[in-house]
Structure 1
């Protein structure tokens, strides 16, 4: 299956096509970047830009909300039903609202990974409606 040209960004190779396989790979790469791209030294716990950028009051949460909204936009391009898109936006809204509270919001970001939850919703949809996009996890 030809996925078209690819773009290398921040160590992630992302396809630029509009087919479900390319969209899935872009969403998975962004989720990895936002939620689990780094390991906390001395532990086996993974964190991402959502937690790091979220430490900057207000602006950080707005930036990560915008990045999470891109995942929802891509889900819209895949044809997810509107109620699922609203549910995904609700997760981002909750993450942004609670994340804006100093200290409590940062702790909440560690536990509640809205982008990972949204990726799970997208994967279920793709596995049902576009089974050819399945990737065997290693």
Structure 2
């Protein structure tokens, strides 16, 4: 696997932002929004294919960004609910029109990215140079950070 950089993580965050808006916020009405997912849910098969496809793409981005297992599980749960509601005729379509599965999954990934201290190095090299302790201190001192991810591992 190719080594990741912080720029790669920023691109993932930006790409996920695009899917979030396209899927669930093309038309915004106050705190509610409808996007391609809500509109395509009324087209048999096409809506399910779109939901599953974008869900899989979001999970792939999460894997590329080395998201935590908890974030991956949360994203999978949102997408499972979104997919399941879309497969129920009429009543499920109504629910799926307004259930922002991709939006919730994308926000979970973006929060994971924002609460991670990214290091363009391997953990072994950081430990050998003594930088690992500095990274731990950074995470301890910044209340919004939860973990360290070494991008070259």
TM-score by length of 1: 0.70
- Which position in structure 1 is the counterpart of 2:49? 62
2:24/2:100 contact within 8 Å kept: yes
CA distance in 2, matches of 1:23, 1:121: 13
Quick check: which has more Rg, 1 or 2?
2
CA apart distance, 1:129: 0.8
TM-superposed deviation, 1:39: 4.6
1:88 maps to 75
For residues 44 and 85 of structure 1, the distance between their equivalents in structure 2, rounded to whole angstroms, comes to 25
Structure 2 unaligned residues grouped into runs of 5+: 1-5, 119-153
Could you list the per-position Cα deviations for residues 41-100 of structure 1 after superposition, in whole angstroms to 9, with x for gaps in the alignment? xx8853100011111123321222211220111011111123421331122112111111
Q: Does 1 or 2 have the higher relative contact order (CA < 8 Å, sep 6+)?
A: 2
CA RMSD of aligned residues (A): 2.4
Structure 1 residues 51 and 75: CA distance shift in structure 2, 3 A: same
- Asked if 2 retains the 8 angstrom alpha-carbon contact of 1:37 and 1:49, the reply is yes
Which aligned runs of 4 or more in structure 1 are off by greater than 6 angstroms? Answer: none
Q: How many pairs does the alignment contain? A: 113
Label 1:22 to 1:94 Cα distance change in 2 as closer, same or farther (>3 A): same
**TM-aligned CA distance change 1:37 to 1:92, over 3 Å:** same
What residue number does 1:109 align with?
A: 96
Partners of 2:31 and 2:79 in 1: how far apart?
26
Q: TM-score, normalised by structure 2?
A: 0.64
